[in-house]
Amino acid sequence: MSWLEKGGNETVCYCKDVNKMQILAAITVEGAKNLDDIKRITGACTGKDCSTMNPSGKCCAGDIQEILDLYLPIWSDMRKGAEDKDCYGECSSCGGCG
């Protein structure tokens, strides 16, 4: 299941107990644009127990990057539409910002 389909309460970083909604808030409210921003804002991906705490047995960096890759373009389109007085709801993400 893709991170696009998973709910906001789904844990992304098990070491630091950071969920998808916190990652999305870092993007939309705090302006995070990359993994380093997410680390700084949320503390995600800064623990040392990934292989034992994460059910996948791996670091959450890949999951965070997937969320960034999915949601940054959507957020960028939505912000552009909100800032553009000539927006006609034709952006690739929401299609209704006009």
* Model pLDDT for residues 20-58, shown as the tens digit of each residue: 999 999 999 999 999 999 999 999 999 989 878 999 999
DSSP 9: T
The predicted pLDDT at position 28 comes to 92
pLDDT at 98 over 80: no
- Asked if residues 22 and 67 have their Cβ atoms less than 8 Å apart, the reply is no
In the chain the domains, ranked by start, together with CATH numbers, are 11-83 (1.10.10.1100)
Per-residue pLDDT for 94 more than 60?
no
Residue 96: per-residue pLDDT: 53
Question: Given this model, what pLDDT does residue 22 score?
Answer: 98
pTM for the model stands at 0.80
Dump the DSSP string for 10-43: SEEETTTTEEHHHHHHHHHTT---SHHHHHHHH-
Per the CB < 8 A criterion, the answer to whether 26 and 64 are in contact is no
Q: Per the structure block, which two tokens stand in for 40?
A: 């700084």
